[in-house]
Structure 1
Amino acid sequence: MKNLFYNLLLLFTVAVQAQLQSPAEFIPGYGSQVSYYHELENYFNHLTENSDYILKKQYGYTYQDRSLNAYYISTPQNLKELEDIRKNHLYQIGMLAEKPAKVNDKAIVWLSFNVHGNEPGAAESAMSVAFELINPNNKRTKEWLENTIVILDPCLNPDGYSRYGNWLRDVTGQMLHPGHTDREHMEPWPGGRQNHYAYDLNRDWAWQTQAESQQRIKLYNKWMPMVHVDVHEMGYNEPYFFPPAAEPMHEYITQAQKDFHMAIGEMTSKRFDLKGWNYYTRERFDLFYPSYGDTYPSFNGAVGMTYEQGGIGAGRAVVMSNGNVLTLQDRIDHHTEAVLTAVETASWQKDKLVKNFREYFKEAQDKPKGKYSTYVIKNGGKTQQLAELLERNNIQFTFANDTKKLNGYSYMDNDDRDFTVEPNDLIINVKQPKAILTQVLFESAPKLTDSLSYDITAWALPYAYGVESYALKNSFKIKTKAEVSYKGKLDFERVYAYYIPWNGRASAKTLSCLLKSGIKVRSARKASSFRGIKINPGDLIVLKGDNQNMYDFKNNMDMLLENKPDYEVMESGFSLEGGDLGGESYPLLSAPKVLLLAGEGISATDFGQAWFYFDQMIEYPLSIIDIRNVNRVDFSQFTTIVLADGYYDLDENQKDKLDSFIEDGGKVIAIGNALTVFEDREGYSLTRFASEADKMAEMERREEETLEARFMDYKNAERRSISEAVPGAVIENVIDKSHPLSYSLGNKYFSLKTSDMHYQLLKDVWNVAYVPQNYISFGFIGKNLKQNLENTVTFAVEQKGKGQVIYMVDNPLFRGFWENGNLLFSNAVFLVD
């Protein structure tokens, strides 16, 4: 009987091995051509159907309706206990209140591939990694899985991966072209790197502006892995990068996390040494900006790691600078070896990982690392949006339900001052499981250990949202509630008008809805008071008298405004103070007809941010044309043209066409390098220097620096070059609060500056927002640039004929998370006339 049992077991094992295929056996051309996304999905379905070591979890869809999937890989017994393992893990770090069933501790490792679509070696290697982990013939991996749960996401960006892969298949034939002068090495605009809206998903982990990020982080927060491996590709001449990471490293990165980095470096280097593969560590890829696939997990307790293989632009095969030919199969092999080594290291260090992970969360609450213990954000429209972001990140918060006088650090004043907590103000206590992430997102001046940073160096949410906020060193007692409560609507026998506060992105979306519905809307141009209502500049008014053709005015308006609960009903247009609703201080808004230019020379990500703003943030229609077709477009069909950051190679006839559009009453919103279309052109005031004397002074300064440079050494050249640079810093701006471009931004505007572009205050224009002398700033700014930014314009409006140009030196839509910038852009689109 026993022999029969073993014979049956042997037959079953042989049958499984026969059914389970490697990627090369399952996908024709695997390793020589990029797979279609459906082939990748089919392969993982094959694995789940033929192995009890893997389970599928679909967690969402992309904007193009491709499925987003994660796969749990471990022993069959562990997979049976998967939910108990997850709950026990969360319970141990304080993120689950009820004690679950007792299970043995496991190392939890999350593997992320292909957040950038045109880095296909990552997604291709995900199939190889998964196969080796569950391959019945691979005894080593089975040992690792005894104490390890692997969560594998083979493609974080299916839309970008498909865009790149489909293009590559379209332009390649049977023969390889490893030489550089072939179209398979010259990816066309916009490229496959980004998602559908041309957003860089690898910069979106914390902000979660994109659907892919929101759905993935929701699952991530249900698991809170101990190790996260983020698999990428870089320029094809680069050797492989694996941890340890480079400086600057955020001061909240723990020694335990650094120690695991070192263990990974030692283990992986041994594997690569044996195979003679080139690699490097501790260069370029730092751990500072909190919204990457390595830093975001790190601030959530994990050992977050970036893995980079040379491959971007390589196509199927390419000759590198050392004369070797790099193939797609090479890239797959390198990634597979490195990622499997990470899983092995996690399994080997399981006990240490579990212990360090739990201590991370305990110490974060018992001994907060940061200077402050409590944050208070004053109530307002943008505060609600901030609460939504906190909720997506699983950061706990409450709302005040009483009044209390306190003293704390004012973000807007950069100093301590007295303030009053009032009902509906948002309160965040640092003593919670997400303590570290909370402090990182709210720190005004992160400590830089090295000025050579890979990304932006300041990002504090109070500046991003433009909300009055305070940080306190201690907690305080006050009555709280779970949600904001709104006062009851004023009850009138008749309805004269509707009042809608202009206080955030939700206001712009509401205005979009009203205009699309044919509702006539007015905007306040000065402050006024009415019975029970105080109206501020920018606030919206819908008069019943303007909309007499609307059937059942009140019920229809209530339905249209159901997602804007802070609206109010008015019974009279007669003001107690200020202008009456029918006066000149309440002009009608017209529905803009918007054109956005796309195509070669324009930054794909900046174009995408503008497109996403209209299409998703406020759901307002716009037309998009390729810049190659600009001669075919009748500009008179539009009222507004948006020029995203980029280099516009317009000929004189095209520039004249743009001039005529503006003079005839059109509006152009130019962002970043798009300003060069108007710079130093006749009829426009945009120039770098306010006077010839200022220009000469700058030229003399640069000549003096050139002379001094003759005596400088070679090795510090890179560091000297950043004296004129700003990778990304928060900068104070004085604003003209009376101008429609600045409505509801607050008393001052903090801009996220990501380029060294600057113009001295312009003449004959409205300098609506500018950097003052002795301005407040956070993050790194090169010493020469820092001084030169004083008295430079950030946002300006120039009248030309019947129209205007809105100059945006900084991009207010940067990565979609700078919410006060989203509001400023809304002002430009709807309120500036």
Structure 2
Amino acid sequence: MKKLFFSLLFLFTLTLQAQLKSPGEFIPSYGSQVSYYHQLENYFTHLTQNSDYILKKPYGYTYQERSLNVYYISTPQNLKDLENIRQNHLYQIGLLDKKPTTTVTDKAIVWLSFNVHGNEPGAAESSMNVAFELINPNNKNTKEWLENTIVILDPCLNPDGYSRYGNWLRDVTGQQLHPGLTDREHMEPWPGGRQNHYAYDLNRDWAWQTQAESQQRIRLFNEWMPMVHVDVHEMGYNEPYFFPPAAEPMHEYITQAQKDFHVAIGEMTSKRFDLKGWNYYTRERFDLFYPSYGDTYPSFNGAVGMTYEQGGIGAGRAVVMSNGNILTLQDRIDHHTEAVLTAVETASWQKDKLVKNFRQYYKDGKEGNKGKYKTYIIKNNGKTQQLAELLERNKIQFAYAKESKKLNGYSYMENGDKDFTVEPNDLIISAKQPKSILTQVLFEPAPKLTDSLSYDITAWALPYAYGVESYALKNSPKIDTKKEINYKGKLDFERAYAYYIPWNGRASARTLSCLLKSGIKVRSARKASFFRGVRIKPGDLIVLKGDNQSLYDFKNTMDMLLENKPDYEVLESGFSLEGGDLGGEYYPLLSAPRVLLLSGESVSATDFGQAWFYFDQMIEYPVSIVDVKNISRVNFSDFTTIVLVDGWYDFTEDQKSDLDNFIKDGGKVIAIGNALGIFEDRAGYNLTRFASEQDKQDEIDRKEEEALRARFMDYKNAERRSISESVPGAVVENVIDKSHPLSYGLGDKYFSLKTSDTHYQLLKDAWNVAYVPKDYISFGFIGQNLRKKLENTVTFAVEQKGSGQVIYMIDNPLFRGFWENGNLLFSNAVFLVD
């Protein structure tokens, strides 16, 4: 009987092997044409149905309702013990409290991510080949690796972008290859396939998780906490292959063990590429600093995070490179397959070292062995709750103060030590926790740069992003805490005269959106006032029963509409104890804006996406989107607000005149970044880079002197000299006019995330609502020549023209969606500025 059983098992295994197909056998055009997403999914279904070395794990859906999946790949026995392996791993690093009942052998856990950028199809295409080789019965090497390794393979992180690119490429290509650059298959149309549905770059969203794809993926990532993460990309098609070691700057929290594994990977992969004669490079680009990439975010969670880059963007199916060689889609697949499999092999080979170093990483964090600060305290307001949601998504532990206590710590807003009082409901975050390093990275005021030639923004501290009063302490004070925030009981009145809604974050804007869409008339405070039990600040919202007499049941309707804004309050009277009465001039009615957002070839796709996402998802408010090329068909009188995000608008004189008349007749234009060029130095507007002719001449003279000095400079350091005029992304202090509606709810000062060197001296005959003061505080890299120039330059201004206004935004407050105080500032521009 036993002999019969093993004979049947052997026959079953042979049957599985016979049925298992390679990608080329399963997809007819594999390697010569980009696959449809359903073909990719079908192939992985084929693998799971014909091999016991792979299991499917769905983890969510994209905005366009395409499925998101990972695949667990290992030996059948390991897959059978998968949950025990996972629980044991989390328990060992302190992310699981209860000790697992089953003991399992330690495994290396390797996560492979492909195609976070949709128009880098060689990544997703190679995921199929990598998966096949890992489970291919004829590949004995990979079977040995899987004995001590769990591979978690995500074949496509961005199915919407991948499908957008692939479907377009299918539409514009025929049977014949066109490797020449003039063919349309090398000219991807706007907005391109790189980003997701809302044109967000998902590779910059790992830590912030503004997008649904990121949120769902990181939820699963935190359930596994891999020891190695390989992020598979493509870059310009003339580039050779890039693999680790990474470039400087490396964040100071990147450990020596992580660096050593990078070197081991580099040595192993270079040997494979040397044998094939394939071009490659290491260390020159792709640093490990900004924490929201697919290599850095895993790194700050203890993993060895790595970026792999193959030349291919813009290559279509095949392209002639600058060296005369033709790069094909199959070439890109082959290069990725070799590199990624080498990463799995190295992880298997170094399994014991990986496990040991990973556990030590978390042990050091829990014991507080790294970092300057041990405790972070965030004062409670509406934005604090938004911050708490981000901490929860990242599995960063926190609590709320249950008592008052006087302390001393570093003040983020003042950039120095200060006495303060922690009060009930303040947010308390200890750095002595499993996610210690990630916590410190996200809260560090001034990250240490080892090299100023950075690939991305160089400062990002969450207290500045959220605009909340915050403190960092070098010790761990004893503070009595609780798990949840407590809202005070509502004032109890027999009648409801009005509802008060604090204007203190994204939830306020979302609530206002809901009220306006429901036909509720809303007022906004323009003066601080005090009523029984309620202190009203400028910007806070008021809903009067007298304005909404058409409501059948005012109180129940409002309670229902405000269900998701628990800090509202009911007022029994409009008579103020201090300030203005609710029916007076300091509480004007808000009108529901009718918003037009321009899109199209001349518009930055990512900046457009950030504005679209803000309206459609963040606050759920209707916005009409029109392509710039169709602007002549728009009746501007149908709108009250036009949003011009960063772009290169080539309006005709007639179109500019239409825009002028729209503003003069009471319309509002919100112009961001390069969109300000429409108004710069134009008759009737006061937007100019220099406040006087003398200032302009001084700048001309400075540039002339610099050109004369440059005659004696060497070629070698030209790149480094060029960054003296640049700012890749730094946090900059702004003085704000707290009396202007554009600044309501922002706090005492505003910290802007500056990502370009564009600057204007303070405008004349306009409201300079936020500007960079002399001797300003900043964090992150700003070129030495630019630093001085930014003093007394405007960041956000409002110019009145006729009955309307233009809101100038030199910096983008919606940058990547994570700058929460910027989201509130933009909400002010849309709803409160009139």
Select between 433-442 and 14-23 the one with higher mean Cα deviation. 14-23
Contact 1:368 1:435 in 2 (8 A): no
Distance 1:607 1:488, change over 3 A: same
Tell me, yes or no, if the aligned pair for 2:368 and 2:431 is still in contact at 8 Å: no
Return the alpha-carbon distance in structure 2 between the equivalents of residues 7 and 820 of structure 1.
68
SS at match of 1:514: helix
Give the Å deviation of 1:477. Answer: 1.1
Residue 470 (structure 2) pairs with residue 469 (structure 1): yes
Q: What secondary structure is seen at the aligned counterpart in 2 of 1:57?
A: strand
Corresponding residue of 1:276: 277
Partner Cα separation in structure 2 for residue 405 and residue 584 of structure 1: 40
Structure 1 partner of 2:95: 95
Task: Identify unmatched segments of 5+ residues in structure 1.
Answer: none
Residue aligning to 1:86? 86
For residue 420 of structure 1, what is the aligned residue in structure 2? 421
- Separation in structure 1 between the aligned mates of residue 155 and residue 703 of structure 2, nearest angstrom: 50
Write out aligned runs for 1:201-212 (5 A): 201-212=202-213
CA contact (8 A) 2:68 2:157 kept: yes
Equivalent in the alignment of 2:574: 573
Q: Give secondary structure in 1 for the equivalent of 2:113.
A: strand
Q: Secondary structure at the match of 1:228?
A: strand
CA separation in 1, counterparts of 2:604 and 2:670? 15
State the match for 1:327 in structure 2: 328
The CA distance in 2 between the partners of 1:753 and 1:651, in whole Å, is 30
Which shows bigger deviation, 255-264 or 648-657?
Answer: 648-657
TM-score of the pair, normalised by structure 1? 1.00
1:367 Cα deviation after fit: 3.7
> What is the CA–CA distance in structure 2 between the aligned matches of 1:228 and 1:662, rounded to whole Å?
51
Alpha-carbon displacement from aligned partner over 1:298-341 (angstroms, at most 9, x marks no partner):
00000000000000000000000000000000000000000000
Q: 1:4 & 1:401 partners in 2: Cα distance? A: 69
Q: CA deviation at 1:284?
A: 1.2
Check whether the contact 2:594–2:639 (CA below 8 A) recurs between aligned residues. Answer: yes
Whether the 8 Å contact between 1:527 and 1:537 is mirrored in structure 2 is: yes
Q: Which residue of 2 aligns with 1:243?
A: 244
2:306 aligns with 305
1-side partners of 2:721 and 2:499: how far apart? Answer: 57
Q: Which residue number corresponds to residue 383 of structure 2?
A: 382
1:7 deviation in Å? 4.7
CA–CA distance in structure 1, aligned partners of residues 493 and 474 of structure 2: 47
SS of residue paired to 1:363: helix
Q: Which residue pairs with 1:64 in the alignment?
A: 64
Superposed displacement of residue 705, structure 1: 0.6
Runs of 5+ unmatched residues, structure 2: none
Cα distance, 1:37 vs. partner? 0.3
The DSSP-based 3-state class of the residue aligned with 2:590 is coil
1:812 CA drift (Å): 0.1
What is the distance in 2 between the residues matched to 1:774 and 1:199? 35
Counterpart in the other structure of 2:40: 40
- Provide the residue aligned with 2:584 in structure 1: 583
Q: Which moved more, 1:93-102 or 1:520-529?
A: 93-102
Tell me how far apart the structure 2 counterparts of residues 368 and 673 of structure 1 sit (CA, whole Å): 45
Q: Does 1:228 align with 2:201?
A: no
Aligned partners of 2:526 and 2:2: how far apart in 1?
A: 90
User: 1:368, 1:430 within 8 Å by CA — same for their partners in 2?
Assistant: no
For the residues of structure 1 that align with 2:723 and 2:172, how far apart are their CA atoms? 40
Distance 1:26 1:558 in 2: 57
What is the CA distance between 1:385 and its match in structure 2? 0.1
- Tell me the alpha carbon deviations over residues 167-196 of structure 1, each in whole angstroms, 9 at most, x when there is no partner: 000000000000000100000000000000
How far apart, CA to CA, are the structure 2 residues paired with 1:532 and 1:248?
52
Aligned partners of 1:369, 1:725: CA distance in 2, in Å? 32
Q: For 1:632 and 1:821, how far apart are their aligned partners in 2?
A: 32
**1:9 Cα offset (Å):** 4.2
Q: Tell me what 1:24 maps to.
A: 24
**CA RMSD, 1 decimal:** 0.8
Shift of 1:16: 1.1
In the TM superposition, what is the alpha-carbon distance from 1:495 to its structure 2 partner? Answer: 0.8
What amino acid does structure 1 have at the position aligned with 2:48?
T
Q: Which amino acid aligns with 1:16?
A: L
Q: Tell me the residue number matched to 2:632.
A: 631
Please state how far the C-alpha of 1:369 moved relative to its aligned partner. 1.5
CA distance in 2, matches of 1:317, 1:391: 45
Mapped to 1, the partners of 2:823 and 2:441 lie a distance apart of 22
Alignment of 1:328-343 (within 5 A): 328-343=329-344
Counterpart position of 2:253: 252
Residues 1:136 and 2:137 are matched in the alignment: yes
Structure 1 residue 368, shift from structure 2 partner = 3.1
CA distance in 2, matches of 1:805, 1:763: 14
Alpha-carbon deviations, 1:775-816, whole Å to 9, x = none?
000000000000100000000000001000000000000000
Contact 1:400 1:424 in 2 (8 A): yes
Q: Specify the code of the residue in structure 2 equivalent to 1:807.
A: Y
Partner of 1:85: helix, strand, or coil?
Answer: helix
Q: Equivalents in 1 of 2:294, 2:724: separation in Å?
A: 29
Name the residue aligned to 1:725. 726
Q: Is the 8 A contact 2:525 2:541 kept in 1?
A: yes
Q: 1:368 maps to what in 2?
A: 369
1:352 and 2:353 matched: yes
1:762-783 CA-to-partner distances (Å, cap 9, x unmatched) read 0000000000000000000000
Identity over aligned residues, as a percent?
85
Q: What does residue range 643-722 of structure 1 map to in structure 2 within 5 Å?
A: 643-722=644-723
In 2, the alpha carbon distance for the partners of 1:297 and 1:3 equals: 48
**2:731·2:751 contact (CA, 8 Å) conserved in 1?**
yes
Counterpart Cα distance in 2 of 1:571 and 1:380:
24
TM-score calculated relative to the size of structure 2: 0.99
| Alpha-carbon distance in structure 2 between the residues aligned to 1:648 and 1:18 | 59
Residue 3 of structure 1: how far off its partner (Å): 6.8
Structure 2 Cα separation of the partners of residues 483 and 826 of structure 1: 28
Rounded Cα–Cα distance in structure 1 between residues aligned with 2:479 and 2:766? 48
1:543-562 Cα distance to aligned partner (Å, 9 max, x none): 00000000100000000000
Distance 1:704 1:423 in 2: 58
For structure 1, which segment, 738-747 or 4-13, has the greater mean C-alpha deviation from structure 2 after superposition?
A: 4-13
What's the CA shift for 1:13?
2.8
Residue 21 of structure 1 and its aligned partner are, at CA, apart by 0.5
Alpha-carbon distance between aligned partners in 2 of 1:157 and 1:417, rounded to the nearest angstrom: 45
Partner amino acid, structure 1, of 2:752: S
- Residues 1:50 and 2:50 aligned together: yes
Which residue is 2:595 aligned to?
Answer: 594
Amino acid corresponding to residue 614 of structure 2 in structure 1: Y
Give 1:601 deviation, angstroms.
1.4
1:33-79 deviation digits (Å, cap 9, x = unpaired):
00000000000010011111000000000000000000000000000
SS of corresponding position for 1:136? coil
Secondary structure (helix, strand or coil) at the match of 1:174 reads coil
